[in-house]
Chain A
Amino acid sequence: MVNKAIEDMVVARHGPDCWQTIKQKAGVDVEVFIGNEGYPDSITYSLVAAASETLALPADQILRAFGEHWVLETAQKGYGPMMRAAGSTLGEFLAYLPHFHDRVALIYPRLEPPHFTITDQRENSLVLHYHSHRPGLTPFVEGLIQGLAKMFSTPASVSLVSSRAGGDDHDAFLVRW
C-alpha cells in the first residue's frame, strides 16, 4: 500500500519519468505493484529514500504527504465505496479501522498488515494505537489520519502520544476533532 501510494503521488505530481528515476535510484525493478501482493519491506524503504533524495524532501515529510495523498487520491479510486461504507464521520471511520485491518490480515496473510486498536474513545477524540513490525512508517500513518480528516472535512489534530522511536512498543496517536 505504501509503495502504491508513493508511485501514485510521484506520477501524479512529478510525472512518470520522475517515478522511473526514483525506481531506478531505489534499484526497484517492479513494473507494477499488485494490490494484493506482498513485497519486501526493503523496497518501500528504498523508494522512500530515493524519493526523498530525488524530490529533495525529508523522508518524514514525504511519508506524511504520501499518507495524505493515498487517502485523498489513491484510495478514492478503488476503496472509495468501502471507505464511505465504513462511516460517515471521522470518529466512526477511525473506530472501524481495526476491523478493516483484521479482515485484511485474514484475507491476505502475506501482506502482514499492521493492526490498530482504539482506546479512550470520546465524542471528539480517540487514541489510535498502531502496531506494525515495520519501523519508520509513523509519519505515513499520521498522513493517513490527516488525509481522513480532510476527507470528512473535519479539522483534526494528530499528536503522537507514544512512539516506538521514544521507546514504546508501539505508536499511539491522539486524534482530536
Chain B
Amino acid sequence: MNPTPHGPVTLQAGVFDTLFPFHVAFDRAGLITRTGPSLSRLAERIRPGARLADVLEARRPDTLPDHANFSAMARRVVILREPLRDILLRGQLVPLGDDIAFLCSPWLTDADAIQRFGLSLHDFALHDPTADLVQLVQVQRLATADLQRLAARLTETRDHLRSQEAEARKLALIVARTGNAVVITDREGRVEWANEGFRALTGYGLGEARGRRPGDFLQGPKTDLACVERMHAHLARAEGFQEEVLNYRKDGRPYWVSLDVQPIRDESGNLVNFMAIQADITRRKELEFSLRESEQRFALALNATGEGVWDWDLRSDTVRHNQRWLDLLGVGPEFLVHDLARFTERIHPADRPGVLARVRDCLAGKGAYSSRHRMVRGDGKIIWVEDRGDVAQYDSAGNPLRMVGSIADVSERHVADESLRVQFGLARALSAATSLTEAAASSLRVICAEMHWSHGAFWAPSSEGPHLVRDTIHPPGAPAGAATLAATLAPGEGLVGRVWQSREADWAPGTGTETSGLIFATPIHAGERTLGVLEFHGSDAGPPAPGRVRTLAALGAQLGQFFERMRAEERLRRRGEELLVANTELARASRLKDAFLASMSHELRTPLNSILGLAETLAEGVHGPLNDHQTRYLGMVLSSGRHLLELINDILDLAKLEAGHHDLALQPCDLREICVASLQIIQPAARQRRQALAAEPPPPGIIVRADARRLQQVFINLLGNAVKFTPEGGRLGLRVTRSEHEVSIAVWDEGIGIPDEHLPRLFQPFVQLDSRLARGHGGTGLGLSLVKQFVTLHGGRVDLETAPGRGSTFTVVLPLPGPADPGNPPLPSPASSPAAPEPAAPEPLRAPPGPGPFVLIADDIGANTVAVADLLLAHGFQVATAEDGNDALRQIRERRPALVLMDIQMPVLDGLEAIRLLRQEPDPALARTPVIALTGLAMSGDRERCLRAGADDYLAKPASPREILARLRSTLAARA
C-alpha cells in the first residue's frame, strides 16, 4: 500500500474482492477481464471473457460505459441491468490499470430479494450500506404496520366511544325525562342524584334528598316492615332486587311504587353505587284491591242468585265453586276447589265431548260459552243444566288465564222442551214414512235421539197367536242386554207384557249396564185398540221424571193414530190396485172390440159393394127391362144395402176414433173450398127431394187448420141429416159467420126439429132418437157422434138450436189460427145475414185441399157418386163430382183433375162422347187427362168401345172397392 495521498494505491486482489465483491472490470475491447465473487454468484454469465454488452444493459446513462466515455461517466452514478434476472447494479466507474472497473452492489428494496437472488448478508462488503438499507426498509415497514394497527385501533376506539357517548346521552335523557323516579345512591345507600321524576313522585327535590337514605324519609306507618327488612338484607349483600312498597310523599299522601334496585360496580367489580328505579303503581294497586272486593261481592251475589258458579284457573287447572254449585250437584265441600278432571267427571259421559268442544271454542275466542247438557249428581241422579261462561282474564299475549261461569238446573224446562221436540220430530218422521215398518224404525230413531234413550224396541201383536213379537229395534243390531229380534212375550210377561195388558205406561230398573239403567214401556193405542208397545232403555237411574212419562204416553197415542191411518190407507191402496187391474183389463177388452169392429167392417164392405153394384146394374136395365115389382124390390135392396154400407163406414170411423187411431192431418185449408165441395156432393140428394138448398159458402181466404177430408165428412153428414129430416119441398142450407177468433158453419133446415128430451143423447153413438124416424129416413145413429168427435179433434165444438116442427141448426164452431189474418174478408154477422136465403145454384165443385190426387167422379146417380166419393175420400183422395158429360168436361177444363171416373150412361152428354171430346181438347195436357170408364155396360165389346173412345181403362159395375182403388192407382202410376 502506498501512503502517498495522490499516488497510486495498490491492493491485493483478495482485498479488492472483499471490498468490492460485486465489481466487474473490462478492457478497451469491451471484454470482461474480472468479476467480484458475489457478482459471479449473482449472475453466472458475467464472467471474464464475456462481452460486457452481451451480459449487461445500460440504464443510466443510456449508453454502456467504455474507454471513450469513461471520463464523462466516471463522475456519476451508473446503473446497469442484468437482463436475465432483472437485477439492477448500482455503482461507479474507476480506472483499474488499463481496464475500467464498475464497482457496484445489487439494488435491493426488500430483504426477500437477498435470498431470491441466492445471496446472503455475507456477500456484501461490511462497508456496503445495502444491508443497512434493506434492514431500514424492513424495520420501517414493520413500524408502518404497527402504525396502521394503531390507527385501526384508534378508529375502533373512537367509534366505540362515539356510540357509547350517544347511548349515554340517550340514557341520560331517558333517566332525566322518564316519569319513573331514578335515584343514584352511593355504596351506603345515600342519595347522590335523583331525576325530575323523583321530585314529581315524592315531592322531594334533589337538594332535600341528597346525602339521605330514601327509606328514611319515604317510608311511613303502613309500609310493610317485612318488605323493608328484605330490602336492607339485599343492600347489605350488594344485590339487586325488586319489591312493591308503600311509600309516603312529602305531603304525607301514601303511594305504591314498584322498586327496582341494581348495584353499579367499577371495572374491578367493586360496588360503587346503587341505582333505584321507582314506578308509580298506585292506580294498579287500587284496581287490584277494588277487584278483590268486587270479586268478593260478586261471589256473594252469585250465591244469592241460586246459580252454581264455577271459576276455572287455567294456569293451575283448578276449578272453584260456590256452595250453590255443590248443592245443585249434591256433592260435599271437597268439591269447593278441585282439579279440572274431577269437574269434567260430573258431566254426563254422552254429553262430555260436546261440552268440552264448546269450552275449547270459547277459549279460542269464538264467543261466550253456552251449553245445555246433563250432569251427574253425587247421588247418581241426572239433571239437565244450562251452563254459561266466558273468559274472565287474559295474559299480556292474549292467552286466556281464567274462565268463569255458572250453571242453573233446567231439568223441568228441559223435559217440556224435549216433549215438544220429540212430538214434532215424530210427526215429521211419520209424515215421511211410507210403510208401517219404516214408521216404526223412524219413530224409534227420533224418540231415542231426542230423549237420549240408548236403545228402543217396537213390540207388535203376533199374527200367529196371543203373544207379542219384537218387531223393530233401534239402533239396528241387538244392543247389549237386549234379547234378539225374534223375542216373544206373553201378555203380562215382563215389563212389556204388563204394559200390553194394562195399557198403562210403566218403568222398571234396567240391567244395570251403562246403557240400561232404566227400562220404560208405553202402549201404542188407537181408541180402545192396543196396537203395540214401545220399549226404551236409558242410562238414568231411578224413576223417570213425571213429565217424561206423560210425553211417552202421548207419543204412544200419536203413533197409534198414525198406525191406524196407515192401515186404512194400506187397505185403500190395495183396493185401488185391484181397480187398476180391472180397468186395464177393461181397456184391453175395449181395444179388442174396436179392432174386431174395424176388421169386421172392412170385411163386410167388400161383399156389400158387390151386392150394391149388381143391384145398380140390374136397376139400370142393363140386362133387360124390369117390371114394377122387380124395380120396387131392387129399390129396396139398394136402399137397404146403402144403409148397411153407410152403417159399416160409420162404425169403422167410430171404432178408429175410440181406439185412438184417428190421427188428423191438420193443415191450413180454405174453408170455402170445403163448404163448396160438401154442398156439391149433397145437392143431388136435395134435388131428388125437391128441397131448396140455400148455399152460402163463405168468401175465399178464411183459413182454418183442419183435416179437409174429415171436415168435409162432417159437413156432408150434417147436410145429409138436414136433407133426411126435412120434408120434401122444404128448405135447408149452410151459412158461415166469423168472429175474431172463431168461425161458425151453420147447417140449418126447416125439418121436424128435435124434442128437448132427446137432446142429452143426441151425440151418443148407436142412439137413434126416434126409431120411426130411423126407419123412415135411414141413418146409422152414428153420424152425429162422428161429427162431434171429429169437430172436437179439430179443437172446435158443435152447437145446436132446435125446435120440434120448426127445424134445427147445427153449428160447427172452429178456432181460427193465431191472430186474425188481415187477408180474411169480413163476414156478415148472423143478424145481418138474409133471413131467408135464396136457393142458389151450387158453386162449381173444386177440389178440397189435401195431399192425395184429385179425382173427378162423373155419374148422374147421386147415391153412386156418394158411395164412390166416400170410398176415395176414405183412402186419401180429393174428390169432386159431376152430374153429366158436359159438367164433367167443364170441371176437367177448370180444375184439371188427376183422373176422371166416368160413367157412360149419363143424360145431356154421355160418357163416351165426353171422353172423345176430351181427347180432342186443344191443350195436350188436358187432352191426356186419364179417364177410367165405370159403367154397368158389361156386355161383350163394351170394353173395346170405351177404350176406342179414349178411356185409359174400363171397370164394369159392380166393381169392388179394392178393384176401383187398384185400377185407379195403376192408371195414375202409369201416367206418373
Contact = CB atoms under 8 A, between A and B. Distances in A.
B222 interface: no
A36 B143 contact: yes
B338 interface: no
A31 interface: yes
Contacts of A31: 150, 153-154, 157
Contact of B139 (A35, A86, A92, A96): A35
Interface string A80-110: 0110111110001000100110011011100
Contacts of B126: 99
Interface string B97-134: 00000000000001110110001111000100001101
Given A34-B143, A35-B139, A82 B134 contact: yes
A33 B142 CA distance: 11
Contact of A79 (B131, B136, B138): B138
Contact of A92 (B122, B134, B143, B147): B122
A82 B131 CA distance: 9
B833 interface: no
Contact of A82 (B111, B140, B146, B147): B111
Interface residues of B, number: 29
Interface in A31-71: 31-37
Interface in B138-165: 138-143, 145-147, 149-150, 153-154, 157
A43 to B, nearest CB: 15
A167 interface: no
Contact of B140 (A36, A85, A106): A36
A78 B141 CA distance: 8
Contacts of B141: 78
Interface residues of A, number: 25
Interface string A123-157: 00000000000000000000000000000000000
B135 interface: yes
A37 B149 CA distance: 14
B139 A107 contact: yes
Contacts of A84: 115
A150 B145 CA distance: 27
A85 B111 contact: yes
Contacts of A106: 132
Given A32-B149, A32-B150, A85 B142 contact: no
A133 to B, nearest CB: 21
A100 to B, nearest CB: 7
Nearest to B148: A32
B132 A81 contact: no
Contact of B122 (A36, A82, A96, A100): A96
A78 B112 CA distance: 11
Contact of A81 (B115, B149, B153, B154): B115
Given A79-B138, A82-B138, A103-B132, A35 B122 contact: no
Given A96-B121, A103-B135, A107-B132, A78 B142 contact: yes
Contacts of A100: 135
A87 B134 CA distance: 15
A78 B142 CA distance: 6
Contacts of B138: 78-79, 81-82
Nearest to B145: A78
Contacts of B153: 31-32
B132 A87 contact: no
Nearest to A84: B115
Contacts of B140: 36
A160 B157 CA distance: 45
A106 B154 CA distance: 31
A29 B153 CA distance: 13
Contacts of A35: 139, 142-143, 145-146
B146 A81 contact: no
Contacts of B110: 81
B132 A34 contact: no
B136 A107 contact: yes
B122 A87 contact: yes
Given A81-B115, A107-B132, A86 B120 contact: yes
A54 to B, nearest CB: 14
Nearest to A4: B146
B128 to A, nearest CB: 11
Interface string B376-398: 00000000000000000000000
Contacts of B115: 81, 84-85
A106 B149 CA distance: 26
B111 A34 contact: no
A85 B120 contact: yes
A32 B135 CA distance: 22
A34 B126 CA distance: 28
Interface in B75-116: 110-112, 114-115
A84 B141 CA distance: 17
A81 B112 contact: yes
A31 B154 CA distance: 8
Nearest to B123: A85
A73 to B, nearest CB: 14
Nearest to A31: B153
Given A34-B147, A99-B126, A85 B121 contact: yes
Contacts of B134: 82, 85
B499 to A, nearest CB: 97
Contacts of A88: 120
A34 B146 contact: yes
A107 B135 contact: yes
A87 B115 CA distance: 10
Contact of A103 (B131, B150, B154): B131
A32 B146 contact: yes
Nearest to A37: B143
A37 B464 CA distance: 130
Of residues A81, A85, A88, which shows the largest number of chain B Cβ atoms within 10 Å of its Cβ?
A85
Given A81-B110, A103-B132, A33 B121 contact: no
A49 B149 CA distance: 26
A65 B804 CA distance: 161
Contacts of B132: 103, 106-107
Contacts of B120: 85-88, 92
Contacts of B143: 34-37
Interface string A16-32: 00000000000000011
Contacts of B150: 31-32, 34
Interface string B156-183: 0100000000000000000000000000
A140 to B, nearest CB: 19
A88 B119 CA distance: 11
A82 B120 CA distance: 9
A85 B114 CA distance: 6
Contacts of A87: 120-122
A75 to B, nearest CB: 10
B666 to A, nearest CB: 117
Given A81-B111, A107-B132, A86 B145 contact: no
Contacts of B114: 81-82, 85
A33 B154 contact: no
Contacts of B119: 85
A97 B770 CA distance: 171
Interface string B629-640: 000000000000
Nearest to B146: A34
A32 B146 CA distance: 7
Interface string B767-782: 0000000000000000
A46 B145 CA distance: 25
A34 B146 CA distance: 5
Contacts of A33: 146
A100 B135 CA distance: 9
A34 B149 CA distance: 9
Nearest to B136: A107
A82 B114 CA distance: 8
Given A78-B145, A86-B121, 9 more contacts: A35-B143, A78-B141, A78-B142, A82-B111, A87-B120, A92-B120, A99-B126, A103-B135, A107-B139
6 contacts: A32-B146, A34-B150, A81-B112, A87-B120, A104-B135, A107-B136
